[in-house]
Amino acid sequence: MSCDIIVASEKAIFGQPEIKIGTIPGMGGTQRLTHAIGKAKAMEWVLTGDQYTAEEAERAGLVSRVVKHEDLMPTALKIAESIAKNSQVTVKLAKRAVNASQETTLTTGMKYERDIFAMTFATADRKEGMTAFVEKRPPNFKDA
């Protein structure tokens, strides 16, 4: 639950079984799960301790996608390669904006996003990205 993007094998099983041994999920498990799938589903998962298939986890919003077991690593690597092609400065800023949405109000989050958006306009990568778009070519980001 601490990952930015979760790709699951069709064979994966998810759950919060701690209730069955007399405790609760620790290390932020109740908090992260609630943010990921909402209060109603999190309550069911935490209070029953039941197990859920990868497809159920995807429907709940816990995982980004479910793939055949043999496609798990190739799919994860393809996503990572796609992210790596982008400006890493901007990727970091985008992650900050998305993560902030989990810890603040919508109004504060919108202001934070606006500030980060403005920050990107001071980067060489933003200029390169927009120039490449106009010139219909792939950008050559320098992470600056």
- Provide the percentage of residues in the chain whose pLDDT is more than 70: 99
Topology at the third CATH level for domain 85-134 = Lyase 2-enoyl-coa Hydratase; Chain  A, domain 2 (1.10.12)
* Domain edges within the chain: 7-72, 85-134
Asked whether the predicted pLDDT for residue 139 surpasses 90, the reply is yes
Residue 56 near residue 28 (C-beta atoms within 8 A): no
pLDDT-based confidence at residue 46 (cuts at 50, 70, 90): very high
Q: What is the CATH number of domain 7-72?
A: 3.90.226.20
CA proximity to 46, closest of 60, 61, 31, 59: 31
Asked whether the predicted pLDDT for residue 71 surpasses 90, the reply is yes
Asked whether the predicted pLDDT for residue 144 surpasses 80, the reply is no
Residues 131 and 144: their CA atoms lie apart, in Å, by 15
